[in-house]
Copies of this chain bind each other. A is one copy, B any other.
Amino acid sequence: METKAPKKKIQTMAELAREAGVSASTASRALRNSPLISKETIERVQSVAKEHSYRPHLGARNLRLKKNNVIVLILPFNYAEEDVLGNPYIFKIVGTIGSKLREIGYDLLLSQMDDISEEIDDRYVHAGIAEGAIILGRGDNDTAKLKRLEETGIPFVILGPILDNQTYCSVGIDNKSSGCMAVHHLAKLGRKRIAIVSDNREDPNAESYARFQGYKQALDELGYPFDPDLVGPSTHSGKSGYDAVQHLLKTAPDLDAIFVATSDVVAISVMQALRNAGKHVPDDVAIVGFDNIDMCNFVSPSLTSISQRLKDEVAHLLVEKLLDQINGKQVESVMLNGSLVVRRSCGSQTDYPLRV
Protein backbone atom coordinates (compact mmCIF):
# COMPACT_ATOMS: atom_id res chain seq x y z
CA MET A 1 0.00 0.00 0.00
CA GLU A 2 1.15 3.44 -0.88
CA THR A 3 0.61 6.42 1.32
CA LYS A 4 -2.38 6.98 -0.88
CA ALA A 5 -5.02 6.53 1.74
CA PRO A 6 -5.69 10.06 2.93
CA LYS A 7 -5.63 10.25 6.70
CA LYS A 8 -8.49 11.92 8.43
CA LYS A 9 -9.16 15.18 6.74
CA ILE A 10 -7.63 18.32 8.07
CA GLN A 11 -10.32 20.94 8.03
CA THR A 12 -8.61 24.22 8.84
CA MET A 13 -5.41 26.10 8.38
CA ALA A 14 -4.82 25.93 12.12
CA GLU A 15 -5.04 22.15 12.19
CA LEU A 16 -2.75 21.92 9.22
CA ALA A 17 -0.29 24.24 10.92
CA ARG A 18 -0.26 22.20 14.10
CA GLU A 19 0.26 19.00 12.14
CA ALA A 20 3.19 20.53 10.29
CA GLY A 21 4.63 22.11 13.43
CA VAL A 22 4.32 25.72 12.32
CA SER A 23 2.02 28.64 12.92
CA ALA A 24 -1.09 29.28 10.89
CA SER A 25 0.46 32.28 9.20
CA THR A 26 3.43 30.26 8.07
CA ALA A 27 1.18 27.49 6.83
CA SER A 28 -0.87 29.95 4.87
CA ARG A 29 2.18 31.49 3.27
CA ALA A 30 3.70 28.11 2.60
CA LEU A 31 0.67 26.96 0.68
CA ARG A 32 0.88 30.04 -1.45
CA ASN A 33 4.60 29.59 -2.06
CA SER A 34 5.53 32.82 -0.37
CA PRO A 35 9.22 33.80 -0.77
CA LEU A 36 9.18 34.62 2.91
CA ILE A 37 9.13 30.95 3.77
CA SER A 38 12.07 28.56 3.47
CA LYS A 39 11.99 25.87 0.83
CA GLU A 40 12.02 23.10 3.40
CA THR A 41 9.06 24.48 5.29
CA ILE A 42 7.09 25.00 2.12
CA GLU A 43 7.64 21.43 1.08
CA ARG A 44 6.79 20.04 4.47
CA VAL A 45 3.59 22.03 4.78
CA GLN A 46 2.48 21.20 1.29
CA SER A 47 3.14 17.54 1.70
CA VAL A 48 1.24 17.43 4.97
CA ALA A 49 -1.60 19.27 3.25
CA LYS A 50 -1.66 16.80 0.41
CA GLU A 51 -1.43 13.82 2.67
CA HIS A 52 -4.44 14.92 4.63
CA SER A 53 -6.14 16.30 1.55
CA TYR A 54 -6.53 19.72 3.06
CA ARG A 55 -8.48 22.30 1.03
CA PRO A 56 -8.85 25.90 2.06
CA HIS A 57 -12.23 27.20 3.05
CA LEU A 58 -13.01 29.59 0.25
CA GLY A 59 -15.76 31.32 2.16
CA ALA A 60 -13.27 32.46 4.75
CA ARG A 61 -10.70 33.43 2.18
CA ASN A 62 -13.25 35.42 0.26
CA LEU A 63 -14.29 37.33 3.33
CA ARG A 64 -10.75 38.28 4.10
CA LEU A 65 -9.78 39.15 0.54
CA LYS A 66 -13.05 40.83 -0.36
CA LYS A 67 -13.11 38.68 -3.44
CA ASN A 68 -15.15 35.71 -4.47
CA ASN A 69 -14.56 34.78 -8.08
CA VAL A 70 -18.22 34.44 -8.82
CA ILE A 71 -20.31 36.26 -11.32
CA VAL A 72 -24.06 36.05 -11.39
CA LEU A 73 -25.98 35.45 -14.55
CA ILE A 74 -29.44 36.96 -14.57
CA LEU A 75 -32.27 35.47 -16.59
CA PRO A 76 -35.07 38.01 -16.48
CA PHE A 77 -38.28 36.29 -15.56
CA ASN A 78 -40.70 38.23 -17.71
CA TYR A 79 -38.62 36.89 -20.50
CA ALA A 80 -38.53 33.43 -18.97
CA GLU A 81 -42.26 33.08 -19.00
CA GLU A 82 -42.03 33.25 -22.72
CA ASP A 83 -39.80 30.29 -22.48
CA VAL A 84 -36.26 31.56 -22.56
CA LEU A 85 -35.34 28.29 -21.03
CA GLY A 86 -36.80 26.48 -23.96
CA ASN A 87 -34.81 28.67 -26.32
CA PRO A 88 -31.63 26.89 -27.31
CA TYR A 89 -30.01 30.18 -28.20
CA ILE A 90 -30.05 31.39 -24.63
CA PHE A 91 -29.02 28.05 -23.26
CA LYS A 92 -26.01 27.92 -25.54
CA ILE A 93 -24.94 31.33 -24.40
CA VAL A 94 -25.24 30.25 -20.80
CA GLY A 95 -23.09 27.21 -21.44
CA THR A 96 -20.44 29.14 -23.30
CA ILE A 97 -20.28 31.84 -20.67
CA GLY A 98 -19.89 29.13 -18.07
CA SER A 99 -16.94 27.61 -19.90
CA LYS A 100 -15.22 30.93 -20.38
CA LEU A 101 -15.59 31.79 -16.74
CA ARG A 102 -14.30 28.46 -15.66
CA GLU A 103 -11.19 28.96 -17.76
CA ILE A 104 -10.33 32.05 -15.79
CA GLY A 105 -11.21 30.59 -12.44
CA TYR A 106 -14.63 32.06 -11.94
CA ASP A 107 -17.84 30.33 -10.98
CA LEU A 108 -21.24 31.08 -12.36
CA LEU A 109 -24.34 31.67 -10.27
CA LEU A 110 -27.57 31.36 -12.18
CA SER A 111 -30.41 33.55 -11.03
CA GLN A 112 -33.85 34.01 -12.45
CA MET A 113 -35.27 37.35 -11.39
CA ASP A 114 -38.64 38.96 -11.80
CA ASP A 115 -37.02 42.24 -12.59
CA ILE A 116 -33.71 43.74 -13.29
CA SER A 117 -33.23 45.70 -10.11
CA GLU A 118 -31.02 46.70 -7.27
CA GLU A 119 -31.67 43.27 -5.93
CA ILE A 120 -28.71 42.20 -8.01
CA ASP A 121 -26.60 44.49 -5.88
CA ASP A 122 -28.24 43.78 -2.53
CA ARG A 123 -28.46 40.07 -2.86
CA TYR A 124 -25.32 39.29 -4.77
CA VAL A 125 -22.68 41.91 -5.30
CA HIS A 126 -22.93 43.97 -2.14
CA ALA A 127 -23.63 40.79 -0.20
CA GLY A 128 -20.24 39.48 -1.21
CA ILE A 129 -21.67 36.58 -3.20
CA ALA A 130 -20.68 37.75 -6.67
CA GLU A 131 -18.43 40.38 -8.19
CA GLY A 132 -20.61 41.37 -11.08
CA ALA A 133 -23.57 40.43 -13.23
CA ILE A 134 -24.27 39.40 -16.78
CA ILE A 135 -27.85 40.12 -17.69
CA LEU A 136 -29.38 38.10 -20.50
CA GLY A 137 -31.96 40.31 -22.07
CA ARG A 138 -33.86 43.37 -21.27
CA GLY A 139 -37.57 44.05 -21.25
CA ASP A 140 -39.77 46.96 -22.14
CA ASN A 141 -39.75 48.70 -18.83
CA ASP A 142 -36.23 48.11 -17.79
CA THR A 143 -34.67 51.44 -18.71
CA ALA A 144 -35.37 53.09 -15.38
CA LYS A 145 -34.34 49.99 -13.51
CA LEU A 146 -31.08 49.80 -15.37
CA LYS A 147 -30.47 53.43 -14.50
CA ARG A 148 -30.83 52.64 -10.82
CA LEU A 149 -28.71 49.57 -11.14
CA GLU A 150 -26.04 51.67 -12.74
CA GLU A 151 -26.16 54.07 -9.81
CA THR A 152 -25.25 51.31 -7.42
CA GLY A 153 -21.93 51.23 -9.23
CA ILE A 154 -21.72 47.47 -9.54
CA PRO A 155 -20.09 45.96 -12.60
CA PHE A 156 -22.54 44.51 -15.09
CA VAL A 157 -23.03 43.91 -18.77
CA ILE A 158 -26.18 43.20 -20.66
CA LEU A 159 -26.94 41.13 -23.71
CA GLY A 160 -28.68 43.35 -26.18
CA PRO A 161 -28.41 46.17 -28.67
CA ILE A 162 -26.93 49.57 -27.95
CA LEU A 163 -29.61 52.13 -27.23
CA ASP A 164 -29.49 55.87 -27.55
CA ASN A 165 -28.04 57.53 -24.48
CA GLN A 166 -27.07 54.23 -23.02
CA THR A 167 -24.27 54.67 -20.51
CA TYR A 168 -23.78 51.10 -19.38
CA CYS A 169 -22.11 48.36 -21.36
CA SER A 170 -23.99 46.04 -23.67
CA VAL A 171 -23.01 43.39 -26.17
CA GLY A 172 -25.36 42.41 -28.94
CA ILE A 173 -25.88 42.11 -32.59
CA ASP A 174 -27.09 44.78 -34.93
CA ASN A 175 -30.68 43.71 -35.15
CA LYS A 176 -31.64 46.39 -37.58
CA SER A 177 -29.06 45.56 -40.21
CA SER A 178 -29.75 41.85 -39.68
CA GLY A 179 -33.44 42.35 -40.34
CA CYS A 180 -32.52 44.35 -43.38
CA MET A 181 -30.28 41.58 -44.64
CA ALA A 182 -32.99 38.95 -44.29
CA VAL A 183 -35.44 40.94 -46.38
CA HIS A 184 -32.93 41.76 -49.08
CA HIS A 185 -32.12 38.09 -49.39
CA LEU A 186 -35.78 37.18 -49.82
CA ALA A 187 -36.18 39.92 -52.41
CA LYS A 188 -33.20 38.61 -54.30
CA LEU A 189 -35.04 35.29 -54.60
CA GLY A 190 -37.75 37.18 -56.42
CA ARG A 191 -40.24 37.40 -53.57
CA LYS A 192 -42.54 40.39 -53.68
CA ARG A 193 -44.92 39.96 -50.77
CA ILE A 194 -42.61 39.56 -47.83
CA ALA A 195 -44.31 39.22 -44.45
CA ILE A 196 -42.78 39.58 -41.02
CA VAL A 197 -43.59 37.69 -37.84
CA SER A 198 -42.53 39.68 -34.82
CA ASP A 199 -43.54 40.34 -31.28
CA ASN A 200 -43.57 43.86 -32.50
CA ARG A 201 -43.03 45.77 -29.34
CA GLU A 202 -43.17 49.50 -29.51
CA ASP A 203 -40.30 49.83 -27.12
CA PRO A 204 -37.14 50.94 -28.94
CA ASN A 205 -35.20 48.86 -26.41
CA ALA A 206 -36.64 45.68 -27.76
CA GLU A 207 -34.66 43.56 -30.14
CA SER A 208 -37.79 42.97 -32.14
CA TYR A 209 -38.23 46.68 -32.61
CA ALA A 210 -34.84 46.99 -34.27
CA ARG A 211 -35.46 43.96 -36.45
CA PHE A 212 -38.75 45.46 -37.48
CA GLN A 213 -37.03 48.72 -38.36
CA GLY A 214 -34.60 46.73 -40.49
CA TYR A 215 -37.52 45.09 -42.24
CA LYS A 216 -39.04 48.48 -43.03
CA GLN A 217 -35.77 49.96 -44.17
CA ALA A 218 -35.20 47.10 -46.59
CA LEU A 219 -38.68 47.48 -48.04
CA ASP A 220 -37.92 51.12 -48.49
CA GLU A 221 -34.63 50.49 -50.22
CA LEU A 222 -36.33 47.96 -52.48
CA GLY A 223 -39.16 50.27 -53.34
CA TYR A 224 -41.71 47.84 -51.83
CA PRO A 225 -44.62 49.44 -50.01
CA PHE A 226 -45.04 48.70 -46.30
CA ASP A 227 -48.27 46.78 -45.80
CA PRO A 228 -49.61 46.28 -42.25
CA ASP A 229 -51.44 43.20 -43.49
CA LEU A 230 -48.06 41.55 -43.85
CA VAL A 231 -47.31 41.82 -40.15
CA GLY A 232 -48.02 38.73 -38.05
CA PRO A 233 -47.93 39.05 -34.26
CA SER A 234 -46.12 36.51 -32.11
CA THR A 235 -44.69 36.00 -28.67
CA HIS A 236 -41.60 33.89 -28.02
CA SER A 237 -43.54 30.69 -27.52
CA GLY A 238 -43.54 28.07 -30.23
CA LYS A 239 -47.32 28.09 -30.48
CA SER A 240 -47.41 31.75 -31.38
CA GLY A 241 -45.80 31.06 -34.75
CA TYR A 242 -48.67 28.80 -35.56
CA ASP A 243 -51.16 31.49 -34.62
CA ALA A 244 -49.31 34.16 -36.58
CA VAL A 245 -49.65 32.11 -39.75
CA GLN A 246 -53.40 31.69 -39.23
CA HIS A 247 -53.57 35.46 -38.97
CA LEU A 248 -51.36 36.17 -41.98
CA LEU A 249 -53.15 33.74 -44.27
CA LYS A 250 -56.30 35.74 -43.70
CA THR A 251 -54.87 39.24 -44.02
CA ALA A 252 -52.41 38.48 -46.81
CA PRO A 253 -53.10 35.14 -48.52
CA ASP A 254 -50.81 36.14 -51.36
CA LEU A 255 -47.65 36.32 -49.27
CA ASP A 256 -44.66 34.54 -50.76
CA ALA A 257 -42.07 34.91 -47.99
CA ILE A 258 -41.95 35.31 -44.22
CA PHE A 259 -39.16 36.77 -42.15
CA VAL A 260 -39.69 35.29 -38.71
CA ALA A 261 -37.94 37.92 -36.65
CA THR A 262 -38.78 36.40 -33.29
CA SER A 263 -36.70 33.24 -33.24
CA ASP A 264 -36.02 29.96 -34.97
CA VAL A 265 -38.27 28.14 -32.57
CA VAL A 266 -41.14 30.29 -33.77
CA ALA A 267 -40.01 29.91 -37.38
CA ILE A 268 -40.16 26.14 -37.14
CA SER A 269 -43.69 26.39 -35.87
CA VAL A 270 -44.48 28.80 -38.72
CA MET A 271 -43.31 26.22 -41.22
CA GLN A 272 -45.49 23.57 -39.68
CA ALA A 273 -48.51 25.84 -39.85
CA LEU A 274 -47.84 26.60 -43.51
CA ARG A 275 -47.59 22.93 -44.31
CA ASN A 276 -50.87 22.24 -42.54
CA ALA A 277 -52.43 25.02 -44.60
CA GLY A 278 -51.25 23.35 -47.78
CA LYS A 279 -48.46 25.81 -48.54
CA HIS A 280 -45.12 24.49 -49.66
CA VAL A 281 -41.86 25.81 -48.27
CA PRO A 282 -39.94 27.19 -50.11
CA ASP A 283 -41.88 26.94 -53.38
CA ASP A 284 -44.90 28.87 -52.16
CA VAL A 285 -43.38 30.65 -49.20
CA ALA A 286 -39.71 31.17 -48.38
CA ILE A 287 -38.72 31.46 -44.72
CA VAL A 288 -35.91 33.15 -42.82
CA GLY A 289 -35.58 32.66 -39.08
CA PHE A 290 -33.42 34.23 -36.40
CA ASP A 291 -30.75 32.73 -34.11
CA ASN A 292 -29.40 29.91 -36.25
CA ILE A 293 -29.90 27.19 -33.68
CA ASP A 294 -28.60 23.70 -34.45
CA MET A 295 -32.08 22.47 -35.09
CA CYS A 296 -32.20 24.57 -38.26
CA ASN A 297 -30.21 21.83 -39.90
CA PHE A 298 -32.56 19.07 -38.90
CA VAL A 299 -36.03 20.29 -39.66
CA SER A 300 -37.59 19.79 -43.07
CA PRO A 301 -36.97 21.83 -45.01
CA SER A 302 -33.85 23.00 -43.25
CA LEU A 303 -34.22 26.57 -42.08
CA THR A 304 -32.39 29.62 -43.34
CA SER A 305 -31.52 31.79 -40.38
CA ILE A 306 -29.56 34.74 -39.09
CA SER A 307 -26.63 33.71 -36.99
CA GLN A 308 -25.76 35.74 -33.97
CA ARG A 309 -22.38 34.06 -33.80
CA LEU A 310 -23.22 33.39 -30.25
CA LYS A 311 -20.88 30.74 -29.12
CA ASP A 312 -17.63 32.48 -29.58
CA GLU A 313 -18.09 36.15 -29.83
CA VAL A 314 -21.08 37.16 -27.80
CA ALA A 315 -20.34 35.01 -24.77
CA HIS A 316 -16.67 35.81 -24.94
CA LEU A 317 -17.29 39.52 -25.14
CA LEU A 318 -19.81 39.54 -22.33
CA VAL A 319 -17.32 37.89 -20.03
CA GLU A 320 -14.42 40.04 -21.14
CA LYS A 321 -16.28 43.31 -20.75
CA LEU A 322 -17.52 42.36 -17.32
CA LEU A 323 -14.10 41.37 -16.09
CA ASP A 324 -12.59 44.54 -17.40
CA GLN A 325 -15.10 46.47 -15.34
CA ILE A 326 -14.40 44.42 -12.27
CA ASN A 327 -10.74 45.26 -12.74
CA GLY A 328 -11.54 48.92 -12.96
CA LYS A 329 -11.14 49.45 -16.68
CA GLN A 330 -13.37 51.56 -18.84
CA VAL A 331 -15.35 49.52 -21.35
CA GLU A 332 -17.38 50.28 -24.42
CA SER A 333 -20.46 48.55 -25.76
CA VAL A 334 -20.15 46.34 -28.80
CA MET A 335 -22.45 45.71 -31.70
CA LEU A 336 -21.77 42.69 -33.87
CA ASN A 337 -23.08 42.03 -37.32
CA GLY A 338 -25.33 39.07 -37.87
CA SER A 339 -24.78 36.79 -40.82
CA LEU A 340 -27.19 34.89 -43.00
CA VAL A 341 -26.96 31.10 -43.20
CA VAL A 342 -28.90 29.95 -46.25
CA ARG A 343 -30.66 26.60 -46.23
CA ARG A 344 -33.57 24.89 -47.98
CA SER A 345 -36.32 27.07 -46.60
CA CYS A 346 -34.96 29.64 -49.01
CA GLY A 347 -34.48 27.29 -51.90
CA SER A 348 -30.95 26.09 -51.29
CA GLN A 349 -30.61 22.61 -52.72
CA THR A 350 -28.43 20.92 -50.14
CA ASP A 351 -28.50 20.29 -46.44
CA TYR A 352 -24.88 19.28 -46.14
CA PRO A 353 -22.35 20.27 -45.10
CA LEU A 354 -24.04 21.41 -41.92
CA ARG A 355 -23.66 25.07 -41.21
CA VAL A 356 -23.38 25.72 -37.52
Contact = CB atoms under 8 A, between A and B. Distances in A.
Contact of A272 (B75, B91, B126, B300): B300
| Count of identical protomers in the assembly | 2
A57 interface: yes
A238 interface: yes
With most chain B CB atoms within 10 A of its CB, the pick from A11, A75, A111 is A111
B127 A265 contact: no
Contacts of A59: 59, 62-63, 68, 127-129
A95 interface: yes
Interface stretch (A101-109, A188-196, A197-205, A251-259): A101-109
Contacts of A351: 272, 276
Given A59-B127, A126-B55, A268-B295, A95 B108 contact: no
With most chain B CB atoms within 10 A of its CB, the pick from A83, A84, A94, A272 is A272
A234 interface: no
Contacts of A75: 95, 98
Nearest to A108: B110
A1 B300 CA distance: 61
A224 to B, nearest CB: 29
Main secondary structure of the interface of A (DSSP, over half): helix
Given A57-B128, A99-B112, A275 B300 contact: yes
A129 to B, nearest CB: 6
A276 B55 CA distance: 56
Nearest to A242: B298
Contacts of A73: 110
B295 A238 contact: yes
Minimum-distance CB pairs A-B, first 7: A59-B128, A85-B95, A269-B298, A58-B127, A91-B91, A55-B122, A272-B300
Contacts of A122: 53, 55
30 contacts: A11-B126, A53-B122, A55-B127, A56-B127, A57-B126, A57-B127, A58-B123, A59-B59, A59-B63, A59-B129, A73-B110, A75-B95, A80-B95, A85-B91, A85-B94, A86-B91, A88-B91, A94-B110, A95-B112, A98-B110, A108-B111, A109-B110, A238-B294, A239-B298, A239-B354, A242-B298, A268-B299, A269-B297, A271-B300, A300-B300
A144 interface: no
